[in-house]
């Protein structure tokens, strides 16, 4: 029997152009069953619903979706992909939507605070957070975690790891990574983050 051909709207075609989206992903085969929303931890705690995101994609509602703050609520846990009967993956599609949104000037307030990841990646080869930022994240969890982060050198010593540089890469590897990232214009990306950060801060000050 001839395989049913399901049409892709222009928005779906645009999403498929992204190298992260494999040809066989079932975006246009989504049957709106809702398994993704049922297994999604973000849906449990917010208005975000991957099934709804898929519905808008199928309807070609590109602009609504790129301006929708919900696309910033996914945790990238990929439970949706495991449960989808159509080999779809709302979690990875969200990454593409976020990038498209940023290109069109939406959502920068969600990402400017992560500039340090880029700087860390360029300078140390590892995109990790500073101690102060890590403490901020962990504040939302139990106090015990904050204590662990504050006392990380002792914790690492107990684990027989070097407390000064537990994950430091060899200099040669760091230099190679830096070179590759500079060729990929990481410095321009960092400048863009700085520019947007300044703009957002200015807006906040004006609103005060």
Binding site residues, ligand SF4, CB under 6 A: 30-36, 39-42, 50-51, 54, 74-80, 83-86, 88, 90-91
Instruction: Name the minimum Å distance from CB 87 to ligand SF4.
Output: 8
DSSP the chain: -PPPP-PPPHHHHHHHTSTTS-TT--GGG-----HHHHT-HHHHHSS--HHHHHHHHHHT-HHHHHT-GGGG------HHHHH-TT---HHHHHHHHHHHHHHTT-SHHHHGGGHHHHHHHHHHS-----HHHHHHHHTTS-HHHHHHHHTHHHHHHHTT--SS-TTPPPHHHHHHHHHHHHHTTHHHHHHHHHHHHHHHHHHHHHH-
Q: State which residue, 84 or 100, has the beta carbon closest to ligand SF4.
A: 84
Q: State which residue, 83 or 178, has the beta carbon closest to ligand SF4.
A: 83
Q: State which residue, 90 or 125, has the beta carbon closest to ligand SF4.
A: 90
Instruction: Name the minimum Å distance from CB 26 to ligand SF4.
Output: 7
Instruction: Name the minimum Å distance from CB 153 to ligand SF4.
Output: 33
Which residue's Cβ has the minimum distance to ligand SF4? 91
């Amino acid at each position: 029997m001839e395989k049913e051909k399901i049409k892709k709207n222009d928005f779906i075609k645009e999403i498929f152009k992204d190298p992260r989206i494999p040809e066989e992903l079932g975006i246009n085969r989504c049957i709106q069953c809702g398994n993704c929303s049922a297994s999604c931890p973000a849906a449990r705690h917010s208005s975000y619903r991957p099934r709804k995101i898929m519905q808008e994609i199928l309807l070609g509602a590109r602009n609504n979706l790129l301006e929708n703050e919900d696309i910033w609520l996914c945790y990238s846990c990929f439970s949706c992909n495991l449960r989808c009967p159509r080999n779809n993956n709302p979690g990875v599609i969200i990454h593409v939507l976020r990038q498209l949104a940023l290109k069109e000037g939406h959502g920068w307030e969600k990402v400017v605070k992560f500039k340090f990841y880029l700087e860390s990646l360029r300078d140390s080869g590892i995109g990790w957070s500073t101690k102060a930022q890590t403490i901020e994240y962990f504040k939302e969890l139990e106090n015990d975690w904050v204590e662990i982060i504050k006392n990380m050198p002792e914790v690492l010593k107990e684990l027989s790891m070097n407390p000064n540089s537990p994950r430091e890469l060899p200099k040669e590897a760091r230099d190679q990574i830096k070179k590759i990232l500079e060729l990929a214009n990481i410095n321009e990306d960092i400048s863009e983050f700085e520019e947007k950060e300044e703009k957002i801060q200015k807006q906040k000050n004006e609103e005060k």
